[in-house]
Amino acid sequence: MVVDQLRVNGIDAAFCVPGESFLAVLDALHDGPTRVIACRHEAAAANMAVAYGKLTGRPGVCLVTRGPGATQASVGVHTAAQDSAPMLLLVGQVSRAVRGREAFQELDVPAVFGSMAKWAAEAADPDRLPELLARAVQTATSGRPGPVVLALPEDVLTATTRVGDARPVRPVAPGVAPADLARLRELLGGARRPLVVAGGPGWSEAAAANLKTVAEASRLPVAVSFRSQDVLDNRSPSYAGDLGVSANPALAERVRAADLLVAVGPRLGAITTGGYRLLVPRQRLVHVHPGLGELGRLYQPDLAVNAAVGPFLAAWRSAPPVPGDAWAAWTQAARDNYLAWVRSWPARPASPGASAPGSSPVDLGQALATLRERLPDDAIVASGAGNYTAWVHRFFQFRRHGTQLAPKSGAMGFALPAALAAKVLHPRRTVVAVAGDGDFLMTAQELATAVQHRLDVVVLVVNNGMYGTIRMHQERAYPGRVTATELQNPDFPALAEACGAAGEAVADAEAFPAALDRALGAGRPALLDLHVDPEWIAPGLSLSALRRQ
């Protein structure tokens, strides 16, 4: 009944680490059609489920065992919550007969996940499994999407009973009232410096196309929120850059200077608002969000629309465009600021001894420009957390919806698992994981999963021999006192080869394009170990300059 309910809802893959607590579920998966990806760590399996949810809008399913499995998978539940991604963590549980005795590996799932998941519950009755699963899918996908965690006691899973499947869930996407659009057009009509901020959950190819149409028809500049860079083709004359952790200062300034902000989909959270500092009281604010709890949570909008981005943008598109002549120069300036930001190469900091004489280490900005030029428009780029992501955010250009996979929670260990889930869903598309050396080793064991399931992704390990982000903060707060942020790394290409993937070190900037071509054409998963200059701690910022500051 559990597996049927997944199938009924179009969930065609599940990510797991097996456990004896849910053998009956595994057995029900034995004859298909749901594809089962067995992973080497539950954190990775959960991250794959998050990525599945983000790419499809259907809940990504992760199956794990009791205490040890559920606790290891918890990072994915947290990431799904912060990403508003539909996800279903199914946890094998001890039998009902022994529940509450602290039986072997027992975990009080609703108590542990109650504050992290959108809903956490435990099955009490086999006859009610269809009801429970249907409500789980409904909850995960409706309004503001998010994770649901269900504990499934072993004896509930092996019971025999007769009950019909629940019907397929139709996610409830709150919509738009005609009066909302009239008010939006009125606010735009009175604006001189409007700025759209797009992001959040619920995007689709159609929603992204509608955003492009309405923005370009009214010549509106569009900023995107942290790690939502794929909701508008970055080549559009409306695209003005991202309000991420290391946002373009000119764009941050533009948010302050705007007289009307139209937030389509994002939470107005810490990162998007530059630490709650960018929005100013004299601005008009329109906030569109599918979660009622996000509207007026901190900033009080002039117009609050409880709608998912899909119906909102479809309605906006069907209204006549507001002419954009009054702000054409403002939009052009926003675009020019963005183009200068992408194209400007930060000056190389001097770094004696960082590389062999006569060669220069890989320049990450240049490497990302190469990716931008060589990857097809539909290539998916996954990343995790670390300072290296600042180069990805800044120098890569996303062109199609559903091509950026990166945790809004800033969780390390996401890049490779997310890339693998993307490859399960899109076997013919190019998928590249960009991971820091710290980040990569949190889920590097999944290279074995990649090889086993023939998921031919390319992994770029940005090897700077440190937990760079923390080193940067450390040098700022405690200059010169390096503690716990240096890394002595394994031989990454050898590690890849040991797993059956291709591995190659790239120590010279000039060698990167050809190495990338080899990796893309390897016919198996491939890893490139990019030796970058550790002195270059962030785009345009050197460690020695940081210490001097």
Ligand X SMILES: Cc1ncc(C[n+]2csc(CCOP(=O)(O)OP(=O)(O)O)c2C)c(N)n1
Binding residues for ligand X (CB under 6 A): 385-388, 410-413, 436-439, 462, 464, 466-470
Give which of ligand X, Mg ion, none residue 76 binds (C-beta under 5 to 8 Å, depending on kind): none
Task: Decide: is 221 part of the binding site for Mg ion (CB under 5 A).
Answer: no
Q: Which two tokens stand for residue 107?
A: 């975990």
Return the H-helix or E-strand segment holding 223: strand 222-225
* Contact partners, residue 136, CB within 8 Å, separation at least 6: 59, 88, 119, 121, 148, 150
Q: Which is nearer to ligand X, 86 or 438 (CB)?
A: 438
The CA distance from 213 to 190, in Å, is 21
From CA 223, how far away is CA 229, in angstroms rounded?
9
Task: Select from ligand X, Mg ion, none the partner in contact with residue 469, using the beta carbon and a kind-dependent cut-off of 5 to 8 Å.
Answer: ligand X
Preceding omega of 33 cis (within 30 degrees of 0): yes
Q: Which of 396, 435, 438 is nearest to 414 (CA)?
A: 435
Least Å from the CB of residue 245 to ligand X = 10
**C-beta neighbour count of 517 within 10 angstroms:** 12
99 residue type, one letter: R
Least distance (Å) between residue 536 CB and ligand X:
10
Cα gap 276→243, rounded to integer Å: 12
Residue 22 touches which member of ligand X, Mg ion, none, C-beta under 5-8 Å by kind? none
Nearest approach in angstroms of CB 546 to ligand X is 13
* Shortest distance (Å) from residue 417 CB to ligand X: 12
In the list 93, 464, 474, 542, the residue contacting Mg ion (rule: CB under 5 A) is: 464
* Residue 492 interacts with, from ligand X, Mg ion, none (CB under 5-8 Å by kind): none
CB of 536 to Mg ion, least distance (A): 11
Report the residue number, 439 or 529, with the smaller CB distance to ligand X: 439
- Cα 414 from Cα 317, distance rounded (Å): 35
Residue 424 binding result from ligand X, Mg ion, none, given CB thresholds of 5 to 8 Å by partner type: none
Question: Smallest distance from the beta carbon of 411 to ligand X, in angstroms?
Answer: 5
Q: How far is the CB of 488 from ligand X (least distance, A)?
A: 12
Residue 126: name its binding partner from ligand X, Mg ion, none (Cβ under 5 to 8 Å by kind): none
C-alpha angle with apex 542: 536 to 543, nearest 5 degrees? Answer: 100
| Window contacting Mg ion (CB under 5 A); options: 17-25, 264-272, 462-470, 527-535 | 462-470
Strands 194-198 and 147-153: unpaired
Q: What are the angstrom distances between the C-alpha of 454 and each of 132, 256, 405, 450?
A: 34, 48, 20, 6
Comparing CB distances to Mg ion, the nearer of 265 and 468 is: 468
Nearer CB in complex with Mg ion: 279/530: 530
**Smaller CB separation from ligand X, 278 or 411:** 411
CB of 437 to ligand X, least distance (A): 4
| Options 57, 291, 324, 468; binder of Mg ion; rule CB under 5 A | 468
The nearest distance, CB 519 to ligand X, in angstroms, is 19
Q: Is 138 in the site for Mg ion (CB under 5 A)?
A: no
442 neighbors 412 (Cβ within 8 angstroms): yes
Task: Read off φ and ψ for residue 443, nearest 5 degrees.
Answer: -140, 25
Q: Which ranges constitute the DSSP H helices of 171-272?
A: 178-189, 205-217, 249-257
Contacted by 273, from Mg ion, ligand X, none: CB < 5 to 8 Å by type: none
Q: Which is nearer to ligand X, 57 or 410 (CB)?
A: 410
Please tell me the distance from the alpha carbon of residue 507 to that of residue 510, in angstroms, as a whole number.
Answer: 9
Vertex 358: Cα angle to 466 and 433 (nearest 5)? 40
Binds 539: which of ligand X, Mg ion, none (CB < 5-8 Å by kind): none
CA distance 51 to 85: 8
Find the shortest distance in angstroms from Cβ 440 to Mg ion: 9
Q: How far is the CB of 529 from ligand X (least distance, A)?
A: 13
CB contact at 8 A, 512 and 370: yes
| Terminal-to-terminal C-alpha distance of the chain | 62
Q: Which amino acid is at 162?
A: R
191 or 432: CB nearest ligand X: 432
- Residue numbers 486-525 binding Mg ion by CB under 5 A: none
Output 274 or 436, the one with its CB closest to Mg ion: 436
Q: What is the CA radius of gyration of the chain?
A: 24
Interface with Mg ion (CB under 5 A), residue from 436, 503, 534, 539: 436
**Interaction between residue 389 and Mg ion (CB under 5 A):** no
Phi, psi values for residue 119, rounded to 5°: -155, 140
387 binds, among Mg ion, ligand X, none (CB under 5 to 8 A by kind): ligand X
d(CA 522, CA 378): 19
Check residue 534 for interaction with Mg ion (CB under 5 A): no
Binding of Mg ion by 283 (CB under 5 A): no
- Cβ closest to ligand X, residue 274 vs residue 413: 413
The reply to whether 437 sits near Mg ion by the rule CB under 5 A is yes
Residue number with CB closer to ligand X (9 or 72): 72
Are 243 and 265 in contact by the 8 Å Cβ rule? The answer is no
The answer to whether the beta carbons of residues 148 and 119 sit under 8 Å apart is yes
Residue (335 or 471) nearer to ligand X, CB: 471
CB of 264 to Mg ion, least distance (A): 34
Closest to 103 (Cα-Cα) out of 151, 61, 44: 151
User: Based on CB atoms, which residue is closest to ligand X, 303 or 412?
Assistant: 412
Amino acid at residue number 273:
T
The residues that touch Mg ion, with contacts defined as CB under 5 A, are: 436-438, 464, 468
